Chains A and B, each alone.
Chain A
């Protein structure tokens, strides 16, 4: 299977990512009516996913907690507008992504546009691979190592990689979120995977040498 095939989204992709949750519909209805306990239930059901998303996009615990808080406060303000056209978790997830992107635009990337931020300096970028066949990643990377390598990606690469490969968004959705072209999103994803490979191989070399 090619990476292209790997990233093909099956029809039930969003169901896999957003399976129905028992008691969620009742909690949504009650929270829309102002029930704080119901809102707390929604928080308990979704805090892990929202926080993990924030943490992976930002790579910073304090900022991720702040933005998790912001996302749920926005949810509180907007929950009355949820009509069930999509899964609640999909809707909330998109809301959280927007909160993070807004934060990055306001705080993280004040001088440059996100499009420019998506193009890290040459030093950060991947290079063509013409040799060094001493290492193979397949079968050798655990989750913690991959998480750490994702953390070490340049921010623009990390955003696209997390949104596409981890969270399952399509390039057209990412382009819309990041206000960049679909081609740019595709290009950045490839560069992110190449950069990740570099990072993971470097880590393996260090382990082997140590």
Chain B
């Protein structure tokens, strides 16, 4: 494991962090970034942002709507049975 040490100047960090969105977007190989070799702070930042992006992909759908949602939908479509043909008025939308 490479030992990193804190960056000596905030300016270098500011410059690097300005470039960071583009580096991510272009899928750049960040291991070649000179700044990261000498800045523990920005290395930690990059690790955290990578981690957040990875974890977000694991947020699969887990929430279910209450049964009332289907009850309302069924009630609405029964007022207008069958997918509407052209010229028919639309079914009502959820009341809010």
* Residues of A bordering B, CB below 8 Å: 1-8, 31-32, 34, 36, 39-40, 43, 47-49, 51-53, 55-56, 64-70, 72-73, 76-77, 79-80, 128-131, 133, 136-139, 141, 143, 146-147, 150, 161, 165-166, 168, 171, 186-187, 189-190, 193-194, 196-197, 200
Asked if B65 and A2 make an inter-chain contact with CB atoms under 8 angstroms apart, the answer reads: no
B25 at the interface (CB under 8 A from A): yes
Q: Pick from A2, A53, A56, A131: contact of B50, CB below 8 A.
A: A2
Asked if B48 and A197 make an inter-chain contact with CB atoms under 8 angstroms apart, the answer reads: yes
Q: Secondary structure at chain A's binding surface: helix, strand, loop or mixed?
A: helix
* Residues of B bordering A, CB below 8 Å: 6, 10, 13-14, 17, 20-21, 23-30, 40-42, 44-59, 61-66, 68-70, 72-74, 76-78, 81-84, 90-94, 96
Asked if A4 and B57 make an inter-chain contact with CB atoms under 8 angstroms apart, the answer reads: no
Q: Pick from B20, B70, B83, B94: contact of A67, CB below 8 A.
A: B94
Q: Pick from B27, B46, B50, B77: contact of A8, CB below 8 A.
A: B27
Q: Pick from B45, B63, B77, B94: contact of A36, CB below 8 A.
A: B77
Asked if B49 and A194 make an inter-chain contact with CB atoms under 8 angstroms apart, the answer reads: yes
15 A–B pairs (Cβ distance < 8 Å), ordered by A: A2-B50, A3-B46, A4-B23, A4-B25, A5-B27, A6-B53, A34-B81, A36-B81, A47-B64, A51-B63, A76-B77, A77-B84, A146-B59, A196-B52, A197-B48
Please give the distance in Å from A80's CB to the nearest CB on chain B: 5
Asked if A129 and B53 make an inter-chain contact with CB atoms under 8 angstroms apart, the answer reads: no
Asked if B44 and A190 make an inter-chain contact with CB atoms under 8 angstroms apart, the answer reads: no
Q: Which residues of A contact B28 (CB under 8 A)?
A: 2, 4
Please report the C-alpha to C-alpha distance between residue A167 and residue B58 in the assembled complex, in whole angstroms.
10
Please report the C-alpha to C-alpha distance between residue A197 and residue B29 in the assembled complex, in whole angstroms.
22
